Chains A and B, each alone.
Chain A
Amino acid sequence: MNLKEVIDIIEGELLVDAPVDIDICNACCSDLMSDVLMFVKPNMLLITGLTNPQSVRTADMAEAPILVFARGKHPSAETLALAEELGIAVVLSAYTMFETAGLLYEAGLRGLGKLPIVRQR
């Protein structure tokens, strides 16, 4: 799936364009940046409701080429500027995180499958 297809599927708005010439196969959905860093693999799509610059930082660290902001939360200019600088494409989705993810899943994107269960003391 390429950037244009992602935008079409979620009826998204492209906020930051970047040359993403990778076929995206997997996505990750979280508002907790440590969770993203824990599980994400390179070239995944990242969906989040967290609109501060740290979401872009995390995408950069996790090597996620496309960042989708869900539930219509428009990120700050500062966040977009950082994405521009780091060459990460940013898409805004008016759907909730669940629905954004659902639409992309329906179109063929997959997650990471089952993960080991982590128990808290």
Chain B
Amino acid sequence: MKNRFALLSLLGGGGGLGKVQELIREIRVGRVMTTSLFTVAPDALMSELKELMRGHHISGVPVVENGALAGIVSIEDLIHALEAAKLDSPVCDFMTSSNLIVARATEPIMEAVRRFEATKIGRMPVLDTQGKLVGILTRGDIIEALLTALQEVYGEAERIQDHPDYFFEALESDSTSLVLRYNVKHLDFARGGDASAKIKQALLRIGALPVLARRVAIATYEAEINLIIHTDNGGTITADIKPYEISVLAEDRGPGIEDVELARQPGFSTATSEVREMGFGAGMGLVNIDRCTDDMSIWSALGIGTRLQMIFRVSPEEAKRNGND
């Protein structure tokens, strides 16, 4: 899991704290504020305010006069009125009307968070660019918005981990693929299998089914050994990984195969006895590759080189086979 994250972050992929920070910077007050709000007029009575607050479980109400914000009245103001036994007084006697702290619908919530921190108030009326009251913002609204954002970020990260296909889908192009290239040296038996093992590892890391990774690895390993045994100067292996198809190309610059059809026969081999002692040259390499691939083609010309292409299709059936394996 850690590795997958590393892979994604290398490619500038999503997930992690960076995305959360970005969200906090980007989310505007207008998106998280409560818009279905209750207001009172300045001449409403504190007893009416008490009923409104109790009936709707709210703790602060903007005071609006002729459509404009005139102040804010909170549960603390109501307690003051109760203590003074002045529930029959108008709201304007108890509301806060000067130095009103407000939020703007267009500002980032980070700004509002700072104001909450600095003033210790519980809520802010929200004004639009024309100064019209459009909502109310509480600390709870902000926490809720951040939790939702976090959930989205982690949900996305989880989706990518569970279904690496999303990783490919997240990158837009007409056809996205991951390309891995390896150089294989002539007679380098010590490192023989390195490229195949790494391709297998990469496939498993991006979430390929083990049964698919295995047949790609076995076919590629045979091709890799062929490059080690049969070439003049080694060759290259290129794996082109798409969500629904994997293509592995083994190429060399000679000597080339004299009779490709003969080379494909089971048991045919031109390997030296030295190579046979290493456990290779049984003449089953190409037969085995054919068995592991969905499609293979060999192009070869004497004195020029050989090009072996192996295609592996990722079928939904493979998922079933994996389960039964």
Contact = CB atoms under 8 A, between A and B. Distances in A.
B251 interface: no
Given A50-B279, A57-B221, A120 B193 contact: no
B96 to A, nearest CB: 68
Interface in A16-54: 31-35, 37-38, 42, 48, 50, 52-54
B218 A57 contact: no
A57 B214 contact: no
Nearest to B224: A57
Interface string A52-88: 1111011011110000000000000010000000100
B278 A38 contact: no
A60 to B, nearest CB: 6
A38 B284 contact: yes
B265 A121 contact: yes
A63 B214 contact: yes
Given A78-B190, A120-B265, A34 B282 contact: yes
Interface residues of A, number: 26
A118 B266 contact: yes
A63 B192 CA distance: 17
Interface in B221-253: 221-222, 225
Given A54-B280, A57-B221, A34 B288 contact: yes
Contacts of A57: 192-193, 197, 221
Given A38-B287, A63-B214, A54 B192 contact: yes
Given A42-B214, A63-B214, A118 B197 contact: no
Given A57-B193, A61-B193, A61-B217, A34 B266 contact: no
B189 A34 contact: no
Interface of A: 31-35, 37-38, 42, 48, 50, 52-55, 57-58, 60-63, 78, 86, 118-121
Interface of B: 189-190, 192-193, 196-197, 200, 214, 217-218, 221-222, 225, 262, 265-268, 278-280, 282-285, 287-288, 291, 325
The 8 residue pairs across chains A and B that have the minimum distance between CB atoms:
A57-B193, A34-B284, A32-B282, A120-B267, A50-B279, A33-B279, A34-B282, A118-B266
